Amino acid sequence: MNKRFILRIEKLALGGFGLGFHEGKAIFAQRMAVGDLAEVELIKERKDTAFARPLRWLERGKGVQEADCASFDLDDPCGGCDWLMLDYPAQLAAKTELVRELLQPLAPDLKIGAMPASPNPINYRNKAFLPVGSGADGLYYGIYARWSHRIVPHQRCVLHPQLFDTIAQRCLEICRKAGVQAYSEASHTGTLRHIGLRCNKDQSSVLLILVTRGAKLPFSNLFVKQITAEFPCISGIVQNINRERGNVILGPEDKLLYGNPWLFDELAGKRFRIHYRSFWQINRGTAEQIIARLQKLMGGAGLVFDAYSGIGALGLNLAAQAERVLCVEECREAALDGELNSELNDLANVDHLCARVEDALPALLSDQQSSPCKTPDVIILDPPRSGVKPAALQAIIDTGIERIFYLSCAPMTLHRDLKILLGSGRYKLEGIQPFDMFPQTWHIETLAWLSRV
């Protein structure tokens, strides 16, 4: 295949690619929309597929707009956004179609609803970890380019609040004066690896996390004094120490430099404490849409298991409709947050268990077999991208829990796990609803609900 050729995009694909065909091969192209015609350059070629990037536009498709980000239109753009060049209605339509194409075959007669708009399609991310690098002008930060650890600098990201960039830029200015060096992955030298930020609903409270290679951070006391004086909204500063090579952002060691390692926030009328390590839905407005749908679908229930519960965002908001809720969460900090959050919201019917779901669930459900009245009526699954482990799925199937609500941020693993549940013959799919947790990207949050046959 020639290195350069003309490509017409026929549809959008999972992964954020435009899909076209050339010389009998499927070509996946970055930053291209349906109807786009462009000269493209081959990046990678496989037996039946290839990957390309646009070089020169000949025609633009319906819904294409100018991307409001200088880092998006670079030859090698940052990996934060996939579809910033599409207007928002076109993004919603594309995501709905992707979900229907992937999941409709599991239940051909099921009507999959259209994706509702997120209340906040830009500046919605309440957390960001920004890698730090070093160049001719000294320290800089940004977002990794796709498929690489090359940092693409930016001054303003449309996904998170402007406040994050303002604080991050000032952090680097102070660090430059203190002689702090950026971490180098190649040589495993330097100090500052990432700048992390998390904020509450009105940005009145911000956590600042400095991820470093070692425990020593020059002039840390002066840094704290300066940054907190300029940004009174900073309620906590944590130095996280990651001594290892690799792409895992956080290490196991923490040093609290200022305030607290958590902040307080609100979601759907409930108050939550959130440790900087704890999982918290990235888009508050969309999270509230999901909670409202869950409350409507679940109705009343006896015992509810909330698996992968995090700080209890789902379980606590469903507690009023259940006799009892058991939250199971692996992260110690998140489980402790969950316990406190039950107290903050005066919920005496919520218990918390700090354990791996795949370890705890088979044992818990096995114990219930001798006492049928204690078998959970409902289980909520909100796993990481890797999905639910086979042992946990099998325990659910063996027990025959009456209703399952599965919230997924990864359509492919959701498809895999639903096939296992449906393939058991014990469950039928009642509904599927996509939500836009991640506007401007291809990523999709999907709620599926099943009932026991």
pLDDT in tens, the chain (453 residues): 889 999 999 999 999 999 999 999 999 999 999 999 999 999 999 988 999 999 999 999 999 999 989 899 877 789 999 999 999 999 999 999 999 999 999 999 999 999 999 999 999 999 999 999 998 889 999 999 988 889 999 989 999 999 999 999 999 999 999 999 999 999 999 999 999 999 999 999 999 999 999 999 999 999 999 999 999 999 999 999 999 998 899 999 999 999 999 999 999 999 999 999 999 999 999 999 999 999 999 999 999 999 999 999 999 999 999 999 999 999 999 999 999 999 999 999 999 999 999 999 998 888 654 444 478 999 999 999 999 999 999 999 999 999 999 999 999 999 999 999 999 999 999 999 999 999 999 999 999 999 999
**How many whole angstroms from its chain centre is CA 238?**
22
Which pair of structure tokens corresponds to residue 162?
């402007």
Q: Are the CB atoms for 227 and 170 separated by under 8 Å?
A: yes
Residue 324: which CATH number?
A: 3.40.50.150
Contacts of 430 (CB under 8 A, 6+ apart): 110, 449, 450, 451
Instruction: State whether 175 and 235 are in the same domain.
Output: yes
Residue 30: which CATH number?
A: 2.40.50.140
Q: What pLDDT, on the 0 to 100 scale, is given for residue 369?
A: 47
User: Residue 72 domain-assigned?
Assistant: no
Structurally, the chain folds into a number of domains equal to: 3
User: Residue 276 domain-assigned?
Assistant: no
Instruction: State whether 239 and 113 are in the same domain.
Output: no
Instruction: State whether 288 and 359 are in the same domain.
Output: yes
Instruction: State whether 304 and 259 are in the same domain.
Output: no
Instruction: State whether 287 and 216 are in the same domain.
Output: no
User: Residue 392 domain-assigned?
Assistant: yes
Q: What pLDDT, on the 0 to 100 scale, is given for residue 73?
A: 80
User: Residue 75 domain-assigned?
Assistant: no
Instruction: State whether 238 and 321 are in the same domain.
Output: no
- Spot the catalytic one: 69, 81, 327, 409: 409
Decide which of 234, 266, 298 is a domain's last residue.
Answer: 266
Decide which of 266, 292, 327 is a domain's last residue.
Answer: 266
Contacts of 359 (CB under 8 A, 6+ apart): none
CA-CA distances (angstroms) from residue 107 to 48, 111, 151, 448?
A: 29, 9, 42, 11
User: Residue 273 domain-assigned?
Assistant: no
User: Residue 444 domain-assigned?
Assistant: yes
Instruction: State whether 441 and 414 are in the same domain.
Output: yes
Q: What pLDDT, on the 0 to 100 scale, is given for residue 167?
A: 98
CA-CA distances (angstroms) from residue 289 to 150, 278, 292, 436, 437?
A: 35, 21, 5, 10, 10
Instruction: State whether 440 and 312 are in the same domain.
Output: yes
User: Residue 70 domain-assigned?
Assistant: no
Instruction: State whether 198 and 287 are in the same domain.
Output: no
CA distance 396 to 402: 10
Instruction: State whether 307 and 446 are in the same domain.
Output: yes
Q: What pLDDT, on the 0 to 100 scale, is given for residue 372?
A: 41
Catalytic annotation present for 409: yes
What is the model's pTM?
0.95
User: Residue 151 domain-assigned?
Assistant: yes
CA distance 430 to 447: 11
- What is the extent of the structural domain holding 28? 4-64
Instruction: State whether 331 and 421 are in the same domain.
Output: yes
